[in-house]
Amino acid sequence: MSDSDRPARVLVLVSGSGTLLQAVLEACDDPGYGVEVVAVGADRDQIQGLERARVRGIPTFVERLADHPDRDAWDAAMVAHLDEHRPDLVLSAGFMKILGPAVLAGHRVVNTHPALLPAFPGARAVRDALAHGVRVTGCTLHEVDDGVDTGPIVDQRAVTVRRDDTEDSLHERIKAAEREMLVAALPGVARVHPLDDA
């Protein structure tokens, strides 16, 4: 298999249950999908997202912010992990830490977000959408830059807000749309192989 035909190497970062990761792993069961998850990293121990990777024999790592004197040191440790696995793309899938300039300087990163950016950036997107009374929200796949949910938009899916929605009920429907969007968009986003030119 030539480099141009090989699956794109994707490293996934998670902070919790890993349902987005699971959707990608199931898509990767199809040899024609064109993506290989080469490692899964987290910012905390003993989460379901790491276990989802381990049962499939995928390498994992944990890098806790609290174990470092500052964010720059944590960022450098993250870079070391990413460089070890040489991904074509880093996917932030429910990863609840902001990646620093050292990571972004050396790696392409995309992130999923539970709102239609640029509306409702940040960690309370679903709650904020409900508080503002919007009738439609959704999810976004975007490139990560040095802002908070400000990078170029790759793809979006709309989700209708129901009159009886709670934050939990709305978030569950957004997550379903998010999984579908990510699985559909990821092969195209990851198809560029910067390592092939190295």
Token representation of residue 18: 């890993």
**Confidence (pLDDT) at 164:** 96
Whether the upstream peptide bond of residue 118 has omega within 30° of 0, thus cis, is yes
Question: Using 50, 70 and 90 to split pLDDT, how confident is the model at 193?
Answer: very low
Residues 79-84 have a mean pLDDT of: 97
On the question of pLDDT at 195 being above 50, the answer is no
Residues 154-182 have a mean pLDDT of: 97
Question: Using 50, 70 and 90 to split pLDDT, how confident is the model at 197?
Answer: very low
Q: Which of 68, 81, 107, 113 is catalytic?
A: 113
Q: Is position 68 annotated as part of the catalytic site? A: no
On the question of pLDDT at 119 being above 50, the answer is yes
**Confidence (pLDDT) at 13:** 98
State the pTM of this model.
Answer: 0.92
Token representation of residue 17: 């249950």
Task: For residue 98, give Cα distances in angstroms to 20, 39, 70, 113.
Answer: 18, 19, 13, 13
**Confidence (pLDDT) at 192:** 61
**Confidence (pLDDT) at 3:** 57
How many residues appear in the chain? 198
**Confidence (pLDDT) at 18:** 96
On the question of pLDDT at 196 being above 80, the answer is no
